[in-house]
Structure formats: structure tokens, C-alpha cells
Amino acid sequence: MALVKDEAIILSTRLFGESDKIVRFFTLASGKVSGIAKGAKKSQKRFMNTLEPFTQVRIEYFEKPTSSLVRIENADLGESNSGLEVSLKKVCVASFFTEFVDKLTKEKQRNEPLFHALKKILDSLKLVEFTVTDILYYELQMLRHLGYMLNLASCVHCGKALPDMEKLYFSKERGGTLCPGCSRAVPHRQYPQGFIPRMLTLNDARIGFHGQVCGNLSSEHGEREGEAPTGFPGEGATRVPLVASSAGFERMGRQVLEDFVTYHLAVEFKSYRLLKSITG
């Protein structure tokens, strides 16, 4: 058995027997890993406050070729989940994205961009409340890192590049926009003019805050669409165009991603139902 040391984010834990825990964690070097932590329920030294969901740790484990579970030997705390417990909404957002990673990744499938995206989400959540627009942004980024990307720039049926005024039709079956001609032959939903270009802008957005995407800037600081944000909480903010939030845009954006994920990935996220009821 070789000892493995890695950075990890705890996705979920459950009790096993009287004193052990089964832990699923997402690592920088090896992707998702499942392991058993012997005596974790009673340990006051090796595992105290380190094997809780959303915590970021430096983990050590032994891997056995004959077992699907690694044996977790030690976990040193890097970033606690402190700051998420202040609101139910923050916990729900964190739960949704950790479940997103858990259900859409395979065991031992390395994905460094996805690891850093999840880390960024959890770090940002401790500082600000996310709007629905923020959640949509991060969900789009995670889909990209997983290799599932919506085509919002050209017709997914004939390949024609589309001007913004013709981006009206979205096909969940094809995973992208349709030109007016192809929309007559392919099932789709029609959206108001400007919605799909705005989703494309959101997908390409980069909002700077200490090198991270920062949530809730549009609603807290009152920027208008197309303006550079001002009044960032903290130093080192990058002034970049910002897509403003609106209830109509958020409702339609959520519908597009729900349709896409349900049809193509056939996954239901338990945490999403609660998150949706809280965010409206």
C-alpha cells in the first residue's frame, strides 16, 4: 500500500458502524475518491473538524488495489466551512455544487479545472450571498469543465453563425441555439430577443475579485448592464463589464439549464429542489 498525499474538498460523509465514517472527497490530483476513516467519529486528533462537508483539507490515505475504498490516514485543515453556516441559502448553494461534482464525475477521474472551480465557489460563498445569476454563471463554468457545453453562438443543426437578433430558439435535445430555418424542423423553446446573447455573455464573463468570480455584485452595488462594477468588497478588484441581474433573465436561464441537464445528463440533484425553493 502506498501513502497518497493530496489537496481535497470534502463532498459528503456518512457514519459507518459505531465510530467510522465513509467519506467522499474531490482531490486535485486524482479526482473523486471514496474512503473510510477509522475511528473518525471519536477521534479528537487526526480528524477533528476536518471531515465535514465543504471543508478543504490536505489529506493522506492508503490505496489498496483490492478495495474500492481507500483508508484515510490523516486530514489537516486548509479551509474550514466556517462562514457558510450563517445562512441556509449559502449551505444550499454549497450543497448543490458539491452534489453537482459528486454526481457528474467518475471515481479517480482527474479534473484540475473542476477542482479549482469548486474551491472558488466555496471561498466566494463565505464572503457574499450568491444571486441566481451567480449560480447560473458557476453552473455554466462547471458544465464546461466537465465537457458538457451549450452552443449559444451558432445553429446546432446546420452550423450557421447567428447574429444576436436571430438567437431566439433553444433546443434542449441538440444542446444549443437554432437558426429560424432549422427551428421549423427541430423541437425547441422560443425565448425573447436578447436572452440567449445575454446567456452567452454570462458564459464568457469574468468578474474579478482577488482572482475569483465574486457573487452578488450586481444586486448589492447597483451596476447597470454593460457598466464596470464599482465598490468591490476588498482590494485588487478588476473592472470588467458586468451582466446585470433580473428576475426574468434568471427564470429563463434556470429553465435552459434545467432542460439541458435533465435531458443530456439524466441526473436529479436533491439539493437543487431546496435551493430553488429558497431562491424563488
The domain locations on the chain are: 2-79, 88-150+182-273
CA distances, 28 to each of 74, 114, 115, 258 (Å): 17, 9, 6, 28
Q: Strands, DSSP E only, in the chain?
A: 2-16, 20-27, 31-37, 56-63, 70-79, 169-171, 176-178, 189-190
Q: Strands, DSSP E only, in 119-260?
A: 169-171, 176-178, 189-190
What is the distance between the alpha carbons of residues 256 and 259, in angstroms, rounded to a whole number?
A: 5
Question: What is the model's pLDDT at position 115?
Answer: 98
Asked if residue 213 lies in contact with residue 138, where contact means CB atoms within 8 angstroms, the answer is: yes
Asked if residue 5 lies in contact with residue 59, where contact means CB atoms within 8 angstroms, the answer is: yes
Bridge partner residues of 21 (DSSP): 15, 37
CATH topology for 2-79 is OB fold (Dihydrolipoamide Acetyltransferase, E2P) (2.40.50)
Spans in the chain with pLDDT lower than 50: 207-245
Residue 128 identity: V
Residue-wise pLDDT for 141-163, tens only, equals 999 999 998 999 999 999 999 99
Bridge partner residues of 2 (DSSP): 63
Question: What is the model's pLDDT at position 96?
Answer: 97
Global pTM value = 0.83
What is the distance between the alpha carbons of residues 72 and 78, in angstroms, rounded to a whole number?
A: 16
Question: What is the model's pLDDT at position 211?
Answer: 33
Classify 109 as helix, strand or coil. coil
Place of cell 468588497: 233
